[in-house]
Amino acid sequence: MSKIKMPVEKSHIMMFARSIGDANPKYYEEKDENVIAPPTFIQSSAQFDPEYFLRPKIGGDNWFGSGKEATGMKSSGSGSGGGGAAMGLHAEQHYEYHQPLNVGDVITAEVKPGKSWEKESKRAGKLKFSESVTEYRNQDGELIITATSVGVVTEKPVEN
């Protein structure tokens, strides 16, 4: 499934910590061995998934964000355009921490599909939930983090 191979790097941790507005000095240490990662840092393993669908691909011509038009998605006539992709939202995220993540580790991820279910909602119509469980292991095969993600596809945009 996923071919993630993520080198854990301190400059990446620094950029991630900046983006969540976290000034904890442990995320900005000079020496590799002193740096620790924020609890949600592993989410940025998406950077190392060659097929990650929420990143424009070099040379790819079907990125669904706007350019000249509101969506770059070529309409296929079947009706499910870029909007379909956009209706996917993140519903839940859970992490279980088994071992610390260290700078210099090389993390691989194994994704397993989980349950799926449906629910009616007043604010967004029919909701289709699906779960996936990712096991992140280090170069020695040790389990570092187990992540459970729940995505939801809404029938219409969520009313606010």
Partner 1 sequence: MLKKNEIKIGDTYSEKIVEDLKRTQIVQYAGASGDYNPLHSDDKFTKEIAGYPGVFAHGMLSMGMTGKMLTNFVGDGTLKKYGVRFTNQVWPGDSLESTATIIDIKEEDGETLAEIAIETKNQDGATVITGSATAKVG
Q: Does 136 bind partner 1 (CB under 8 A)?
A: no
* Closest among 51, 146, 55 to 96, alpha carbons compared: 146
Report the length, in residues, of the chain: 160
Q: Does 52 bind partner 1 (CB under 8 A)?
A: yes
Q: Does 21 bind partner 1 (CB under 8 A)?
A: yes
96-125: contacts with partner 1 (CB under 8 A) = 96-97, 100
Closer residue to partner 1 in complex, CB, 67/141 = 67
**What is the 3-class SS of the chain, one letter each residue?**
CCCCEEECCHHHHHHHHHHCCCCCHHHCCCCHHHCCCCCCHHHHHHHHCCCCCCCCCCCCCCCCCCCCCCCCCCCCCCCCCHHHHHCEEEEEEEEEECCCCCCCCEEEEEEEEEEEEEEEECCCEEEEEEEEEEEEECCCCCEEEEEEEEEEEECCCCCC
Stretch that binds partner 1, among 59-67, 107-115, 129-137 (CB under 8 A): 59-67
Q: Does 128 bind partner 1 (CB under 8 A)?
A: no
Q: Does 7 bind partner 1 (CB under 8 A)?
A: no
Stretch that binds partner 1, among 18-26, 105-113, 114-122, 135-143 (CB under 8 A): 18-26
As measured in angstroms, the least distance from the Cβ of 43 to partner 1 is 5
Q: List residues near partner 1 by CB under 8 A.
A: 12, 15-16, 18-22, 24, 26, 36, 38-40, 43-44, 46-48, 52, 54-56, 64-66, 70-71, 81-83, 86-87, 89-97, 100, 148, 156-158, 160
